[in-house]
Amino acid sequence: MKKSFQIHPVGWIHKKESNITIEIEPQYTGALLGMETFSHILVFYWFHENDDAENRSILQVRPRKNPKNPLTGVFATHAPVRPNLIAITTCKIESIDGAFIRIDDIDARDGSPVVDIKCYLPEKKALEDLKLPDWITRD
């Protein structure tokens, strides 16, 4: 039995040149309690400008839009086209003022809906036997 899910924005990305903020919806501002004790957050947002049937059906891309890179499944990339258009970026918190989190940078576009935020916690144990494809380190 297939299930469907609904995701509702908890906030919105605002980008005006180097001023980048996340505005949290009023009903979720209580979730910011304690956030000021962290230096970084994980921001989960929706690739809203790619949300159409065509972009959701693309399953293979050339990573980083580089034709020299091998055709690769979207689950093995960070491509903005995928079945569910969820993105994640680690961001440094510059300040928090009420419902606004000012961050250093994010690869989201102005107006992107934020679907979740999590505090960044470093891995307790370094990853062993880390394996990456060649295109990751290629210029």
Indicate which CATH number applies to the domain containing 29.
Answer: 2.40.30.70
Does residue 134 lie in a domain region? no
Does residue 19 lie in a domain region? yes
Does residue 30 lie in a domain region? yes
Check residues 138 and 139 and name the one with the higher pLDDT: 138
Question: Residues for the chain: how many in total?
Answer: 139
pLDDT of residue 134: 87
Does residue 133 lie in a domain region? no
DSSP structure class, residue 68: T
Percent of the chain with pLDDT over 70: 98
Does residue 3 lie in a domain region? no
Does residue 136 lie in a domain region? no
Does residue 2 lie in a domain region? no
* Main-chain dihedrals φ then ψ at residue 118, nearest 5 degrees: -130, 145
Residue where the block lists tokens 């055709």: 71
- Decide if pLDDT at 113 tops 70: yes
H or E, element range at 53: helix 53-57
66: containing domain: 11-122
Q: What pTM does this model have?
A: 0.88
Does residue 102 lie in a domain region? yes
Q: Count up the domains in the chain and report the number.
A: 1
